[in-house]
Structure 1
Amino acid sequence: MRERNRRFAWPLAAGAVLALGLGVWADSVQAAAADEYSTESTKASQSLLIDTAHAGKRLVVVGDRGHILFSDDQGSTWTQARVPTRQLLTAVFFLDDKRGWAVGHDAQILTSSDGGATWSKQFEDLAREAPLLDITFLDARHGFAVGAYGALLETTDGGQHWQDVAERLDNPDQLHLNGIAQVRDAGLFIVGEQGGMF
């Protein structure tokens, strides 16, 4: 009888350890999901950086792993901002020396009100499974973001709400929209895949 108990003791103990391990793993996944900030790194300025913008005299760059850096000395030194994502950021735009937006993978839109020193997540659409590739604002309230598979989003309240307005474009094949810019005295200009221009 004693031998039989020994045989069953190990599977019960192993099951308890496995359950404990799974519990710890689940807790760590939840903690990671709740704290998805870009990793601080002394080499962030040497990582893949995709786009740059001026916030007044300040330079702001965005790139891989959610890295956003800013420089107040024309790029001689860089400070890494605290950013609530680890996704690749593809573009950054500043309306003035304070208000700015950045876009990237997971159809994320981030915003800053202090010249790029701190950022908050304004929009995310995981179901889209596609990156946003560029963003522009006409004024403090009216902005547009473009991206893969013909994505065209618009806000009229400074980014508090974003609406999909892709149907406004003659883009039935949902070709990627790579860039958007305001052209003085001529409105908005969008360039995309296969030489598409809107």
Structure 2
Amino acid sequence: MKSLVKKHVFYPIALLLLFVFSINKSLAATADAMERAAVQSNLGSTSVLLGAAYAGVPLFTVGERGLILRSSDNGKTWQQVPSPVSVTLTDISFSDENNGYAIGHSGIILATKNGGESWEIKLNGVKLAKQLLIEAESDGDEHAIREMQRLVDDGPDKPFFDLLQLGPKHVVAVGAYGLAIETKDGGETWQSWMGRIENFFGYHLYAIKKQGDHILIAGEQGFIALSMDNGQTFSTIESPYEGSFFTAELLPNNDLIVAGLRGNAFVSHNNGASWNTIMNPIPASITGSTVSKDGQVFMSNQAGMILSLSNDKLFPITHKPYPPLTHLIETSKGNILALSISGSIPVHIGNSK
């Protein structure tokens, strides 16, 4: 991995990479936002929301200033859950109705064992940087030591963007400057994946998805890496595009989908050996995606539109534009819940009750 002082650009993912990051960079300078509980507010449901997941029946979402919200009616109404941090949270995942994780800025990783009723800090940027430096020193890699020392010197300002939960105690998180870490014991200890991924320039990693033994990672400046052995090793895939990918999907047939800047999207039917362009009539950055239970792929964009994928083409399924969108999730009723810079938006997709 080459020098982390190389200039990186946080492209606009519905304020996540322009507005929210700049806010949390100032918060991180004081470091106390990592330990200061989120303020209870009635405005949470209309705030910037960035990730969502079900914990059995309840649906949870996370967002700016440490927000964690819970809904018992598929996102129609929300109640705020106490959060131990005030930094923006970018994603959330549950392996079952009890065990879940949330990630965010300042290297924050939270965990719950009681279905999201309470959350505890399992990792922050200070501990993460120190651990990565210790690992580099143990390996005796002088280049890695210099890079990890920069992380320590920079302070806890590096965000995580996506997480992959593999079990109640097993989770992988990826983020800025090539951060990629794993825990198999519920966050008591963490191991770096950075040595497994040939990310020499330290590109930001925005998405991680799994299907069977395949794990797909996509990120900044067209970065794509694929593992076919459950994450033990990764191959860097030649990218069809030099711009950043903000979302990715691994379909049950192992097709790869990556999408991002300026509406560029691609699909590979052969593990990344070649790519087909997904035709998109809307040249706005694609910010999120989801695959429904029946295999339908949906994408959201910064122009506030939701699109459906069919025959390598994207078709808008909504006629009126919403606020800039950040994330999509299929609800338990078979509809779509879109997250935005102004809260959540239930979207009826026409084939559900």
TM-score (norm 1): 0.79
1:179 to 201, 207, 219: 207
Flag as ranges the 4+ runs of structure 1 deviating above 4 A.
32-35
Provide the rounded CA distance (Å) in 2 between the counterparts of 1:174 and 1:96. 33
Displacement of 1:165? 2.4
| Alignment CA distance shift 1:39-1:166 (3 Å) | same
Equivalent pair of 2:34/2:85 in contact (CA under 8 Å)? no
Displacement of 1:187? 2.5
Matched length? 166
Counterpart AA for 1:196 = F
Consecutive unaligned residues in structure 1, runs of 5 or more: 1-31
2:216 to 175, 180, 189: 189
| Alignment CA distance shift 1:160-1:35 (3 Å) | closer
Provide the rounded CA distance (Å) in 1 between the counterparts of 2:113 and 2:184. 17
1:130 to 132, 138, 158: 158
Aligned to 1:170: 198
Displacement of 1:140? 2.2
Task: Confirm whether residue 75 of structure 1 aligns to residue 75 of structure 2.
Answer: yes
Counterpart AA for 2:193 = V
Counterpart AA for 2:182 = E
SS of the residue 1:65 aligns to: helix
Aligned to 2:93: 93
Question: Residues 68-124 of structure 1: CA distance to partner in whole angstroms, max 9, x if unpaired?
Answer: 001011122211010010001111111111111000011000011122221111111
Compare CA radii of gyration and give the structure with the larger one.
1
Consecutive unaligned residues in structure 2, runs of 5 or more: 1-31, 127-154, 226-353
Displacement of 1:50? 0.6
Displacement of 1:142? 2.3
Displacement of 1:35? 6.2
Provide the rounded CA distance (Å) in 1 between the counterparts of 2:82 and 2:91. 17
Which structure is richer in relative contact order (CA contacts within 8 A, separation 6 or more)? 2
Aligned to 1:157: 185
Q: Kindly report which structure 2 residues correspond to 1:99-138, keeping only aligned pairs within 5 A, or say none.
A: 99-126=99-126, 127-138=155-166
Provide the rounded CA distance (Å) in 2 between the counterparts of 1:144 and 1:51. 16
Displacement of 1:163? 2.2
Equivalent pair of 2:159/2:176 in contact (CA under 8 Å)? yes
Counterpart AA for 2:221 = Q
| Alignment CA distance shift 1:35-1:143 (3 Å) | closer
| Alignment CA distance shift 1:144-1:123 (3 Å) | same
Equivalent pair of 1:177/1:191 in contact (CA under 8 Å)? yes
Equivalent pair of 1:109/1:121 in contact (CA under 8 Å)? yes
SS of the residue 1:137 aligns to: strand
Equivalent pair of 1:70/1:117 in contact (CA under 8 Å)? no
Aligned-residue sequence identity (percent) comes to 37
| Alignment CA distance shift 1:128-1:39 (3 Å) | closer
Provide the rounded CA distance (Å) in 2 between the counterparts of 1:141 and 1:81. 22
Displacement of 1:186? 3.5
Provide the rounded CA distance (Å) in 1 between the counterparts of 2:201 and 2:35. 37
Equivalent pair of 2:163/2:174 in contact (CA under 8 Å)? yes
Equivalent pair of 1:154/1:163 in contact (CA under 8 Å)? yes
SS of the residue 1:138 aligns to: strand
Displacement of 1:141? 2.8
Aligned to 1:4: none
